[in-house]
Chain A
Amino acid sequence: MARHRGRGIASINYPIGMNLGGDPSQALVHSNPSGKFTVSLSSIDLGQGMKSVTRQICAETLGVPVEDVYVDTADSDTGPHCMGSFASRGTHRVGNAVMAAAKEARGVMMEAAAEELEVNAADLETDGRGNIHVKGAPHRSISTKDVAIAAQFKQGKTISGRGIFLVPLSAVDPETGEMSPATCYAHACLVAEVEVDDETGEVAMVRMDSAYELGRALNPRLVEQQLVGGAWMGISHALFETTEPYYPDPSRGPRDFVEYLMPGPGDICPHDIAVLERPAADGPFGAKGPGEMCANPVMPAVANAIFNAVGVRVDELPITPEKVLRAIKAQGGPRPQARR
């Protein structure tokens, strides 16, 4: 009776937003007379940070500090149409819509500033700190606040913009499956190390190392939050969770968190993550999105690590102690594979 360590890997890709329904998102951006901007959306922040990411996209595009932007969502009377937050589409679809709206608003803002400074709008630039100045002549400057006041009360202009992002619906060929399902893909590779107890069948996570390529990481801390949380979900899917423990027999389903098992703090492990950024041609500032895919590599990596540790293949999720133990017994004991 012993504990055996093993390592396993998995590498994956993931489509960012799906074009099979043709589901666009819209955004509106407008300034109040103090030069503070509101982004109006009907999109949902599930806790993943969509409000924060779209806020940064809007601020970057307008050329104003992020503190000057507030994202308001989700109200069907004020927010323009969005199908919803799913299919890893938030950053890519909503982000692009916000970017388009912010570009239009920025155009008006620069025109209004040009009128105040009596120059051509093409000669102006933003400093990202709330000022607009003539290129190469920072002293010829006006604050976005003064521009907003002038636009509202003097020039009669609305500093506002509309944005939509639509990837047209893709047909699917019934015979070959030819289609354009997505415009960009995120990538990942994960190494899991586990320890398998050949007496109990229990699998303990030892550590994980991973690399995720997500296009541009718009907010690295939110990316980290997604990847750490997603890996937890991956461990949970790999080793713990199901609503039907004896599927396809539907009986004995758990009804609460006493019966439905998930990893606690003692069941997780250190996770060392690298993020690569290969910008997507049509992503907002090259972003793709980490949302869904981060749980996916964990399950097969853990299964492969279990094989490396004790030589059994469990091809049914979740990989419970019962399944591991039965498999070890069926092959007449643990057969540790070459350490790697």
Chain B
Amino acid sequence: MLELRKDIFADERDDNLNEIGKGTQRQDMLGHVTGASTYFNDHRLQGMLHLKVLRSPHAHARIRRIDTAEAERSPGVRRVIRGADVPRNLNTLLSLINFGKDDEPTLAFDKVRYKGEPVVAVVADRDREAFEALARVRVDYEPLPAVFDVEEALKAGAPVVNETYPKNTFTYHDIYDHQKLRFGDVERGFAGADHVLEQRYQMSPIEHAPTETNGSIAAPDTNGRYVVYTSTQALFFSLDTCAKILDLPSNTFHFIGGTVGGGFGGKVDTLTEPLAILGAMLTGRPVRYLFGREEEMQYGPPRGAERIFLKDGVMRDGRIVARKVRAYFDSGAYTRLSSYAVVKCAAHLPGPYTIPNVYGDIYCIFTNRTPATAMRGFGVTAMDFAIECQMDKLAHLVGMDPMEFRILNAYRDGDMKAHRREAKNTALIECVQVAAEKAKWPLREEFKRMSSRKDGGGARAAVPATAADPRAPARPAAQQRTPYDRTPQSPAAPEPPRPAPPPPGPPTPAPQPAAHGAIRFSSVFGLRRR
């Protein structure tokens, strides 16, 4: 059941509109509910061939030799495609925005870096014939030690997953193996806190589970062009990626899509289009490449698994004074988009709360598993799980109601966020108040009266003195410059640490510390400081 609370923030809206705000039925509803909507796989083109890929059985192995002779003679086979047939067989998705280095082949040639990595593609008259031919491909692998744990991957002597990033970490700003967030002085915050709580959280990989699996159909068109029917959720992203991998001008391709059977982030990676088009180029026939369910579930990219360490300092009255975060994003064997999610995650810290001292180190780590990619809430979902579980523990620790604890610490209009931008248009407090009302969760009067629009800013708007990290970058590494980066600061002149200003005061008179003995919990949940 959904209720529109028009009474809240009514003074900020003009509700006198004709079409906006109406529950108009969607334009494509009838087609969807009658099964008449056309998805990419509803196109049946004359002479259409079918492409399937041979996937690596090893998580990490050197490819000594690939023998496709028998597969090429297999019935119905029109073409066997190997890495050497791909015009530019190394790419990274975000090269389109100049972020990161090309690190992933379309078809593996020197090594396989995860179980399920595509090695050889077969184009045949029928699906079954393609599968039968794949069974006749002989690949001589030399298995290599693999690494699956993000912290193991960081250790000296760990197997190198992806030679483009020999330390198993993505490179930020040419120099760092992680993205930093620095705001205030967390160590000083911890020293002054009544309680310090440090915890570990772990997300697992999750499948997007779309009804329609990833796929595309490519067909030669007139005038040397190719028409591509695709399930992509990013039409030009996929088109430009194909133009790069196939080394052709972007107007060679006519991409048609737009009706997608579920995406959730799993259809950004352009998994099938380059090979489908290449198959069409090499055979002169329409080619379909469609993932099966097992491929979608195990070898199509999942939501990545983040491991998060969260350390908080909290006062007896419930104010959080410091939050330190170390997080490892498991990118799998290649970068895809995890590098970007790391930066998004850094921007998200410390959650929707005003905390005077915040510190974050976020890593993108390579392991020998299926590359991870975007999924609903990318970069934020696991961090929200960690932060909100931690908030519950902190409230418990100081004996505060968890709703009131969130209202007390919530960010408000005018506050300075840790990424150094002013908070505007905030509404966390109102959401907590309304959810409490709906759930019949009692809040004290003073918390019912608090507002996102009151008592923010002032001392809470200041950027605190922040010391630079002592270890300055030695030299810029080889990674190409990107518009995303700033020029690295001169290593010669680290800013001298200045004394920290006093922590900002509470937004309103702080509530009375709860009387019951929460402090005793510190032996369970963390280190008691006072």
- Chain B interfacial residues counted at CB < 8 A: 141
Which residues A64-119 have CB closer than 8 A to chain B? 65-66, 70-71, 73-77, 79, 81-87
The answer to whether B346 touches A177 (Cβ under 8 A) is yes
A residues near B176, Cβ cutoff 8 Å: 174
The answer to whether A291 touches B258 (Cβ under 8 A) is no
Q: A211 contacts the other chain (Cβ, under 8 Å)?
A: yes
Query: What 1/0 mask marks residues of chain B from 204 to 242 whose CB sits below 8 Å from any chain A CB?
Result: 111101000000000000000000000011111111000
Chain B's closest residue to A79 (CB) is B235
Query: What 1/0 mask marks residues of chain A from 285 to 323 whose CB sits below 8 Å from any chain B CB?
Result: 110000111011101110110010000010111100000
The answer to whether B28 touches A248 (Cβ under 8 A) is no
B residues near A156, Cβ cutoff 8 Å: none
Q: In the complex, A337 Cα to B209 Cα: how many Å?
A: 36
The answer to whether A13 touches B428 (Cβ under 8 A) is yes
B residues near A297, Cβ cutoff 8 Å: 384, 388
The answer to whether A169 touches B297 (Cβ under 8 A) is no
Chain A nearest CB: distance from B39 CB in Å?
11
Q: B378 contacts the other chain (Cβ, under 8 Å)?
A: yes
Chain A nearest CB: distance from B228 CB in Å?
9
Which residues B179-221 have CB closer than 8 A to chain A? 179-183, 199-207, 209
A residues near B175, Cβ cutoff 8 Å: 174
Query: What 1/0 mask marks residues of chain A from 174 to 200 whose CB sits below 8 Å from any chain B CB?
Result: 111111111011011111000000000
The answer to whether B205 touches A74 (Cβ under 8 A) is no
The answer to whether B377 touches A295 (Cβ under 8 A) is yes
* Interface-side segment among A28-36, A45-53, A131-139: A45-53
* Interface-side segment among B67-75, B105-113, B159-167, B484-492: B484-492
A residues near B387, Cβ cutoff 8 Å: 300
Chain A's closest residue to B375 (CB) is A292
The answer to whether B23 touches A221 (Cβ under 8 A) is yes
Chain B's closest residue to A271 (CB) is B1
* Interface-side segment among B76-84, B134-142, B413-421: B413-421
Chain A nearest CB: distance from B215 CB in Å?
15
A residues near B254, Cβ cutoff 8 Å: 75-77
Q: In the complex, A228 Cα to B224 Cα: how many Å?
A: 46
Chain A nearest CB: distance from B452 CB in Å?
8
The answer to whether A46 touches B233 (Cβ under 8 A) is yes
A residues near B441, Cβ cutoff 8 Å: 7, 9, 191, 340
The answer to whether A276 touches B485 (Cβ under 8 A) is no
* Interface-side segment among B11-19, B119-127, B283-291: B11-19
Q: A273 contacts the other chain (Cβ, under 8 Å)?
A: yes
B residues near A184, Cβ cutoff 8 Å: 424-425
Which residues A130-181 have CB closer than 8 A to chain B? 169, 171-181
Chain B's closest residue to A8 (CB) is B392
The answer to whether B26 touches A222 (Cβ under 8 A) is yes
- Kindly identify which residue among A55, A169, A272 contacts B1, using a CB–CB cutoff of 8 Å: A272
The answer to whether B484 touches A171 (Cβ under 8 A) is yes
The answer to whether A177 touches B297 (Cβ under 8 A) is no
B residues near A175, Cβ cutoff 8 Å: 180, 182, 468-469, 489
- A176 with B28, Cβ < 8 A, contacts A189-B435, A278-B9, A285-B20 known: no
A residues near B411, Cβ cutoff 8 Å: 13
Q: In the complex, A242 Cα to B27 Cα: how many Å?
A: 34
Chain A nearest CB: distance from B241 CB in Å?
11
Chain B's closest residue to A304 (CB) is B392
- Kindly identify which residue among A47, A187, A244, A281 contacts B431, using a CB–CB cutoff of 8 Å: A187
A residues near B22, Cβ cutoff 8 Å: 56, 66, 219-220
The answer to whether A83 touches B381 (Cβ under 8 A) is no
Chain A's closest residue to B347 (CB) is A181
- Kindly identify which residue among A10, A174, A248, A301 contacts B172, using a CB–CB cutoff of 8 Å: A174
Q: A279 contacts the other chain (Cβ, under 8 Å)?
A: yes
The answer to whether B260 touches A45 (Cβ under 8 A) is yes
- Kindly identify which residue among B172, B209, B438 contacts A209, using a CB–CB cutoff of 8 Å: B438
The answer to whether B484 touches A212 (Cβ under 8 A) is no
Q: In the complex, A174 Cα to B1 Cα: how many Å?
A: 45
For the complex, would chain A's binding face be called helix, strand, loop or mixed by DSSP majority? loop
* Interface-side segment among B43-51, B262-270, B313-321, B503-511: B262-270
A residues near B42, Cβ cutoff 8 Å: none
A residues near B425, Cβ cutoff 8 Å: 184-185, 278-281
- A44 with B260, Cβ < 8 A, contacts A272-B438, A300-B389 known: yes
The answer to whether B384 touches A10 (Cβ under 8 A) is yes
- Kindly identify which residue among B179, B183, B352 contacts A13, using a CB–CB cutoff of 8 Å: B352
Q: In the complex, A180 Cα to B484 Cα: how many Å?
A: 12
The answer to whether B384 touches A299 (Cβ under 8 A) is yes
The answer to whether B256 touches A74 (Cβ under 8 A) is yes
B residues near A188, Cβ cutoff 8 Å: 431
Q: B410 contacts the other chain (Cβ, under 8 Å)?
A: yes
- A11 with B293, Cβ < 8 A, contacts A84-B268, A209-B438 known: no
Chain A nearest CB: distance from B517 CB in Å?
13
Chain B's closest residue to A259 (CB) is B297
- Kindly identify which residue among B239, B352, B380, B389 contacts A11, using a CB–CB cutoff of 8 Å: B352
- A244 with B205, Cβ < 8 A, contacts A172-B486, A281-B424 known: yes
Q: B363 contacts the other chain (Cβ, under 8 Å)?
A: no
The answer to whether A276 touches B205 (Cβ under 8 A) is no
A residues near B260, Cβ cutoff 8 Å: 44-47
The answer to whether A275 touches B377 (Cβ under 8 A) is no
List 29 contacting pairs A-B, 8 Å CB cutoff, sorted by A. Answer: A10-B391, A12-B388, A13-B351, A43-B235, A51-B26, A86-B265, A86-B378, A87-B374, A172-B486, A175-B489, A177-B419, A181-B344, A187-B431, A190-B435, A211-B432, A213-B427, A213-B431, A255-B297, A271-B1, A274-B434, A275-B4, A281-B425, A285-B20, A296-B380, A304-B389, A315-B199, A316-B202, A317-B204, A317-B382
Excluding A9-B402, A221-B23, A276-B9, 17 further A-B contacts by CB distance (< 8 Å) are: A10-B392, A11-B410, A20-B340, A47-B261, A82-B236, A128-B19, A169-B483, A175-B469, A178-B419, A180-B419, A237-B381, A244-B205, A257-B293, A276-B427, A295-B376, A300-B387, A307-B392
Residues of A within 8 A of B (CB): 7-15, 18, 20-23, 42-47, 49, 51-52, 55-57, 59-60, 63, 65-66, 70-71, 73-77, 79, 81-87, 128, 169, 171-182, 184-185, 187-191, 209-213, 216-224, 227, 230, 233, 237, 241-245, 247-250, 253-257, 260, 262, 270-281, 285-286, 291-293, 295-297, 299-301, 303-304, 307, 313, 315-318, 340
Residues of B within 8 A of A (CB): 1-6, 8-9, 12-13, 17-28, 32, 59, 94, 97, 99, 115, 148-150, 172-173, 175-176, 179-183, 199-207, 209, 232-239, 253-265, 268, 293-294, 297-298, 302, 305, 330, 340, 343-344, 346-348, 351-352, 360, 367, 369-370, 374, 376-378, 380-382, 384-389, 391-393, 401-403, 406, 410-411, 418-421, 424-428, 430-436, 438-439, 441, 466, 468-469, 483-486, 488-489
Which 10 residue pairs are nearest across A and B when measured between Cβ atoms? A84-B234, A300-B388, A74-B258, A221-B23, A177-B181, A174-B173, A181-B347, A128-B18, A211-B434, A242-B204
